[in-house]
Amino acid sequence: MKIVVLDAHTENPGDLSWSGFEELGDVTVYDRTPKFDDKEIIRRIGDADVVITNKTPVRAVALDACPTVKYVGLLSTGIDVCDCAHAAKRGIPVSNIPAYSTNAVAQHAIALLLEICSKVGVHSAAVHRGEWQRCEDFCFWEAPLMELAGLTMGIIGFGRIGMATGRIAGALGMRVLATGSHETDEGRKIGEYTDLDTLLGSSDIISLHCPLKDETRKIINASTIAKMRDGVIILNTGRGGLVDEEALASALKSGKVYAAGVDVVSVEPILPENPLLACDNCYITPHVAWTPKTCRQRVMDIAVRNLRAYIEGKPENVVNGAG
């Protein structure tokens, strides 16, 4: 069995092993493959039986040009990188990686929030510049700090990551409001379910954890921001497409939104013209919430298990109904 990995570097920059795949077939690993070059994608897939990818797209044209492909394994939870419907027509199962970074992403969302409210990085940098040494008082602050206890966090998307974020928020003394596709008993123990408009109007902090679908695309926009409290904080560790970045940038500059913390943007890597780059009160990290080594090892282990299950005739985590 021939296995090709199209974009290995972000999953494994050298601190993990591909040995699990190597036990299942002949593996060719590419650190990176041009995302928009279908000819090169097709060339690299060649006569492989199995394609493993994270963010390199496997479009219909590649599936049609590479008739030996029998299985596509994703190194991610998101499935939009593959034309899953076309793969299904060709009888090719596509498997993803569910629930591998729940705690890490929740942790990162709270880390963004704590940086916004406690300004740890700002003040550490000031101390290293010598400003504390020159201070006439025993303390100083370069920006106002904010206490989280007693505030309300609204969580849009109350699945595994949303609930994990809600648990931390509750531990910090915050009230948690939530909206999601369906209510659960577990969710009710963590937060109060409500409708979106109530959540928007009642929350001091809004954290996005919903999947990117037609109904959630740009769910944060000029209209929904207008329904929010003045001085709201917005967090996005979900998908960049959940946010209308022009509208958010405008609200950040006007003060309607006090600050935002985002780990994802609409086009990645971020474009120089992204309006959020012009907002000093927008804290941006480069899509790293999922990257602790423990999480990436989990991705590797599940991806290998998915492929082994396919080989054994019992495919797991199939997202397109094939196989």
Could you list the active site residues? Answer: 239, 268, 287
Least Cα distance to 191 among 180, 181, 179, 177 occurs for: 177
DSSP state letter for 306 = H
SS3 117: helix
Tokens of 256: 């309607």
Question: 306 near 314, Cβ under 8 Å?
Answer: no
Rg over CA atoms, the chain = 22
Kindly report the number of other CB atoms within 10 A of residue 112's CB atom.
24
* Integer Cα distance of 11 and 205 in angstroms: 31
Q: What are phi and psi of 165, to 5 degrees?
A: -65, -40
Q: What is the DSSP track for 41-87?
A: HHHHHTT-SEEEESSS-B-HHHHHH-TT--EEEESSS--TTB-HHHH
Q: Cis omega before residue 13 (within 30°)?
A: no
Tokens of 279: 């907002």
Question: 63 near 83, Cβ under 8 Å?
Answer: yes
Q: What is the DSSP track for 233-262?
A: EEEE-S-GGGB-HHHHHHHHHHTSEEEEEE
Strands (E), the chain: 2-5, 26-29, 50-53, 71-74, 94-95, 152-156, 175-179, 192-193, 205-208, 232-236, 257-262, 282-284
